Amino acid sequence: MVIKLRNLGALHCASIELADITVVCGKNNTGKTYATYAVFGFLSYWWEAYELEVNHEIISTLLESGNVIIQIAELVRKAQHFVDVACKKFDPLIQRVFSSDQESLTRSTLRIALSNNDIKPLDTYDQTTGSKKVNLFSIHKDTNSNIVTISLLVDKGSIEIPSRVLQRSISFALKKIIFKNTFPNPAILVAERTGIEIFQAELDFARNRLLDTLKDSEGNLDPFEILRKVNTDYAIPINRAVDSVRNVKESIKSQSYVFKEHPDVIQFMMSILGGDVVYAKNSMYYVPITNKRLRLKINESSSSVRSLVDLAIYLKHLAEKGDLLMIDEPELNLHPENQRKVMQLFAMLVQIGIKVYVTTHSDYIVKELNNLSLMRNVRKEQRIHLCEKYGYNDMQMLNDASVSVYVASLQPVLLEGNTRRTKCNTFLKVKNGEFGFELDSFDNTIDVMNEIQDELLYECD
């Protein structure tokens, strides 16, 4: 699957393939975050709003006969068409993703090209739709079956089922059956996360005060419309981050599959955090490993805790297998040792079925990525020795094919309709060579710093 972005802020033209771990590096103002938000926006739109086209004959047949059969092969054949339609419908929404009225974003486009290997329909599916009192219809796919069967569960004349309800339910079910293994469900941790943890209460206060100010004496103003307008002050990923803090009381009521099935991953996360995060008395608290009697509110905790608390909550309570975890600058406020450990954690997440997408300015993150990729290629005896010496485990080893690294930079690109290459901001895929992924933007800076230090120490001319 290749995602193609055009005219997106500073990013003029770029293509990216999502691997198990996707890392995007580059200097400031080269389009990394714009690309991240656009990909997150599309995947959210795909799963939350976009509806596959459902032939009216399917609805009519179901209502008349009580059953209808849909061929999987026909849906797979139309997969690229469905995605093309979704992309075109998403283009006008890109401005809303960024909550921006930039005129340039009206020309932004996102396109996705699928390969045959990208479409892997679910092996089984079983969903029943209805109310608390009665089941209305079921959507079912048997193991190894090539058909989806939709059946009414009530007598045709006993209850009227709106066609719109059928259309939407069938659309979302077919979308999941065909594309669940193609498009991951996105979760995002934005670079503003450390401030959101502190100022979320103030944001809520400002929003409530605005509501009170704009109401007339009879309260005629629609508060829901005002809430919508207030929320559009921020890009959608930032709004989601605010909402996740606002809704944490509900989030912690559930336990993720990571928490239930992979306690070693949770334990490793807590070792990076240096403690645990708990919810009590309507507040989040940080409990250090070194003093479990101490409880610090998040705004009383260190900046590193505020940087990691959202990740801890996601892994313990919200993560689902097949997710795409998107993190803008995971190195925020972290010591280099913990930056390395965060990359080790990402490698562990890949092993248990969560893809990771990272934008970073950290040489430590990339160097550790190289270590984890190269380690699988050494002799078994050497690998065991390195794991024992440096504290690695088998879950942190990465296959070369599971990693993609891109650099956002100014490069000559042959744009559509041109005969000559034009220099513009794009994504350049970095080859995985003998020494791993080598990034000039980091290496050149380090070389210059070393040269300056040599001249200062040895007074070279």
Tell me the per-residue pLDDT of 2-46, one tens digit each, with 9 for 90 and over.
999 999 988 999 999 999 999 999 888 888 999 999 999 999 999
| Spatial contact of 243 and 252, defined as CB atoms under 8 Å apart | no
Residue 223 lies in a domain: no
Distance of alpha carbon 160 from alpha carbon 142, whole angstroms: 28
| Spatial contact of 393 and 387, defined as CB atoms under 8 Å apart | yes
Q: How confident is the model at residue 276 (pLDDT cuts 50, 70, 90)?
A: very high
| Spatial contact of 31 and 128, defined as CB atoms under 8 Å apart | no
CA diameter of the chain: 95
Residue 205 lies in a domain: no
Q: How confident is the model at residue 175 (pLDDT cuts 50, 70, 90)?
A: very high
Q: How confident is the model at residue 212 (pLDDT cuts 50, 70, 90)?
A: low
Which residues does 448 contact at the CB level (< 8 Å), separation at least 6?
Answer: none
What's the CA angle centered on 322, arms 316 and 324, to 5 degrees?
A: 80
Residue 302 lies in a domain: no
Give the per-residue pLDDT at 223.
Answer: 46
Residue 19 lies in a domain: yes
Distance of alpha carbon 366 from alpha carbon 375, whole angstroms: 14
Give the per-residue pLDDT at 211.
Answer: 47
Residue 23 lies in a domain: yes
Residue 168 lies in a domain: no
Summarize the confidence of residues 244-252 as an average pLDDT: 85
Q: Is the pLDDT of residue 49 over 80?
A: yes
| Spatial contact of 403 and 432, defined as CB atoms under 8 Å apart | yes
Residue 265 lies in a domain: no
Q: Is the pLDDT of residue 224 over 80?
A: no
Residue 389 lies in a domain: yes
Q: How confident is the model at residue 90 (pLDDT cuts 50, 70, 90)?
A: very high
Number of domains the chain is built from: 1
Would the pTM of this model clear 0.85, i.e. be above it? yes
Distance of alpha carbon 195 from alpha carbon 333, whole angstroms: 12
Q: What is the pLDDT of residues 347-377, one digit of tens each?
A: 999 999 999 999 999 999 999 999 998 888 8
Q: How confident is the model at residue 257 (pLDDT cuts 50, 70, 90)?
A: very high
Q: What does pLDDT average to over the chain?
A: 86
Instruction: Look at 66-80, 86-100, 305-319, 417-431 and tell me which has the smallest mean pLDDT.
Output: 417-431
Segments forming the whole domain that contains residue 351:
1-48+74-117+322-461
Q: Is the pLDDT of residue 313 over 80?
A: yes
Higher pLDDT, 422 or 14: 14
What's the CA angle centered on 381, arms 375 and 387, to 5 degrees?
A: 50
